[in-house]
């Protein structure tokens, strides 16, 4: 009898342990790994209707999400929700919200990337060199009895692109209310192009490409450097894919086309998220004959122009593996739409360093990286410099959230300005492989967030705000993109996908909070560099934000 009672007690104990393990360990993991619906989307709430970020979702109480728009980065009250009956411009109301009007610290010399005197002297020398070269070109053209377009360069110390360069600081590429950015977008869209050339990375290839490589270097994407009459410079990426086309499911991310409209949309999304880490981008119709062929002095670029059977002017990349007319882009007959991305200051006066993304993907057809097979990968990263202190890991997670929203799987490297050291922000360069699939949410892009389970408080607050009807992400993106010359920049399904993916991000954060607690997951924007992020305890440092 005693033996039966002991067995019964043992059975009850084991059952209780198994039930607890199933409920608290196995079930959350299964929910986290549960595949999305048939179209590849994650199981997040509908972008219309029940909002995950509000308390009471699925019967759960989420107090740290409720009324979140009335709390600033230090937990102090900054204002109540706007009256929903008086929305007006959602984008205008978003940028007027207290979360978008938090003052940055006063910028000293060390907080600014460039000093005015240094920058002006540098570009005066470049203008002088340009004028000398143009004189030599004109003399050579006259000797050969050739006609050559001549444009007068007007170097203006008040030019918008110079103001943009001078505004770059430790916290972002530009201030929230910087009027120079609006002027710069207008200038890139309308200012006369006086010179076209290959970009520096394509020049470095010199047409030599290793066709045995799975991932081909540059060239395929056919980007050009265009110089404006006011001596500003922009990178031009021509249209390669129609708005309503989706990347086929069988195409690997590393051989996908680059999309000009993705570059434009990424800039607007980056600004809406208040990261301000994407250089300004605008759409433009370019005359490929008058603004590229007749302005370039690069014979390699001239040699790839031809006229198609439909009498359209076309050109293609010099790189050998795409040195064929079927890889060309063509005007209609001369006009070709593309994105114009503002150049940053030259590396000689504003050095940058390129670093591999810790969550880099395998660029082979069958390979897998450690983070894809090791669920504890982030524990290793947290012990490595520069991710073992400061804000670098938090910035990586910001970048992952941004890439997940646009669907960019191709973030193999990131760049930082060397002047700002380990605490500098990450530049969100090269976003043209985003917005390829609106019907699929690639959850693996969120691995830094789901594995590390930490997020900046400011990032979470703004994501929460953008999930509400008053400031819905798809609505403010649609409004923001409506001002571009190439509107509609995104097809409607891509805008709707933003709302769905935003819910996926918030759901991932919620899982982390349930597992680890709010104090372990949500941290301040700037953490004490002497504190190891394994504890990830928020360290309040007044008057600082990202």
Catalytic residues: 410
Fill in the DSSP letter of residue 218: S
Instruction: Pull the structure tokens for residue 148.
Output: 């050559």
Is the N-terminal amide bond of 193 cis, ω within 30° of 0?
no
Give the DSSP H or E segment for 329.
strand 329-330
- 350 known ligand binder: no
- Residues 6 or more apart whose CB falls under 8 angstroms from that of 464 comprise 53, 65, 68, 69, 506
- 344 known ligand binder: yes
What DSSP assignment string belongs to 121-144?
HHHHHHHHHHHHHHHHHHHHHHHT
- Residues 6 or more apart whose CB falls under 8 angstroms from that of 502 comprise 47, 405, 463, 466, 467, 473
- Please report how the helices 473-481 and 260-272 are oriented relative to each other, as an axis angle in degrees rounded to 10: 120
Measured CA to CA, the distance from residue 484 to residue 494 in angstroms comes to 17
- 237 known ligand binder: yes
Give the DSSP H or E segment for 162.
helix 160-167
Closest by CA position to 78, among listed 105, 99, 92: 99
Degrees to nearest 5, angle at CA 363 with 361 and 365: 115
Q: Is 455 in a helix, a strand, or coil?
A: strand
- 222 known ligand binder: no
- 341 known ligand binder: yes
- 430 known ligand binder: yes
Closest by CA position to 329, among listed 311, 312, 316: 316
What does the CA dihedral 313, 319, 321, 322 come to, rounded to 10 degrees? Answer: -20
Q: Is 536 in a helix, a strand, or coil?
A: coil
237 DSSP β-pair partners: 339
- 403 known ligand binder: no
> Which residue, chain included where needed, has tokens 């809406």?
272
Is the N-terminal amide bond of 488 cis, ω within 30° of 0?
yes
What DSSP assignment string belongs to 373-393?
H-TTHHHHHTTSTTTTSTTHH
Annotated binding site: 237, 341-344, 415, 430
Annotated binding site for ATP: 237, 341-344, 415, 430
Annotated binding site for Mn(2+): 430
């Amino acid at each position: 009898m005693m033996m039966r009672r002991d067995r019964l007690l043992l059975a009850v104990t084991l059952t209780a342990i198994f039930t607890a393990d199933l409920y608290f360990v196995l079930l959350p993991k299964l929910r986290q790994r549960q595949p999305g619906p048939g179209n590849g989307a994650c199981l997040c709430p509908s972008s219309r209707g029940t909002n995950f970020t509000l308390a009471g979702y699925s019967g759960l109480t989420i107090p740290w999400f409720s009324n979140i728009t009335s709390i600033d980065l230090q937990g102090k009250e900054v204002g109540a929700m706007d009256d929903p009956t008086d929305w007006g411009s959602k984008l205008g109301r978003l940028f007027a919200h207290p979360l978008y009007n938090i003052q940055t610290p006063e910028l000293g010399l060390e907080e600014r990337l460039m000093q005015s005197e240094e920058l002006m002297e540098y570009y005066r020398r470049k203008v002088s060199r340009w004028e000398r070269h143009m004189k030599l070109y004109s003399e050579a053209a006259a000797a050969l009895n050739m006609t050559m377009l001549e444009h007068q360069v007007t170097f203006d110390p008040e030019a918008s692109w110079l103001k943009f360069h001078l505004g770059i600081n430790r916290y972002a590429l530009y201030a929230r209310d910087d009027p120079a950015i609006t002027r710069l977008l207008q200038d890139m869209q309308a200012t006369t192009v006086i010179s076209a050339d290959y970009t520096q990375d394509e020049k470095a290839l010199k047409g030599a490409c290793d066709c045995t490589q799975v991932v081909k270097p540059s060239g395929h994407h056919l980007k050009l450097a265009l110089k404006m009459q006011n001596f500003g410079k922009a990178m031009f990426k021509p249209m390669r894919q129609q708005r309503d086309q989706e990347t086929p499911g069988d195409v690997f991310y590393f051989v996908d086309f680059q999309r000009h409209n993705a570059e434009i949309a990424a800039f607007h999304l980056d600004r809406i998220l208040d990261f301000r880490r994407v250089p300004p981008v605008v759409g433009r119709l370019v005359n490929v004959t008058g603004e590229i062929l007749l302005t370039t002095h690069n014979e390699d670029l001239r040699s790839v122009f031809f006229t198609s059977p439909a009498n359209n002017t076309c050109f293609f990349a010099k790189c050998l593996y795409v040195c064929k007319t079927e890889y060309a882009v063509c005007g209609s007959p001369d006009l070709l739409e593309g994105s114009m991305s503002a150049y940053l200051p030259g590396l000689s006066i504003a050095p940058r360093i390129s670093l591999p993304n810790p969550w880099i993907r395998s660029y082979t057809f069958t390979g897998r990286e450690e983070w894809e097979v090791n669920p504890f990968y982030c524990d290793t990263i947290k012990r490595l410099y520069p991710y073992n202190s400061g804000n670098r890991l938090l910035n990586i997670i910001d970048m992952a959230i941004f890439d997940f929203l646009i669907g960019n799987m191709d973030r193999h490297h990131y760049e930082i300005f060397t002047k700002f050291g380990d605490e500098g922000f990450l530049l969100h360069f090269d976003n043209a492989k985003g917005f390829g699939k609106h019907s699929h949410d690639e959850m693996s892009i969120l691995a830094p967030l789901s594995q590390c389970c930490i997020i900046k408080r400011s990032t979470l607050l703004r994501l929460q705000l953008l999930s509400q009807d008053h400031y819905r992400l798809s609505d403010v993106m649609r409004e923001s993109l409506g001002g571009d010359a190439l509107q509609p920049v995104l097809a409607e399904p891509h805008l709707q996908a933003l709302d769905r993916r935003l819910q996926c991000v918030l759901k991932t954060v919620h899982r982390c909070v349930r597992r680890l607690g709010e104090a372990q997951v949500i941290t301040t924007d700037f953490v004490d560099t002497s504190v190891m992020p394994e504890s990830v305890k928020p360290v309040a440092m007044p008057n600082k934000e990202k």
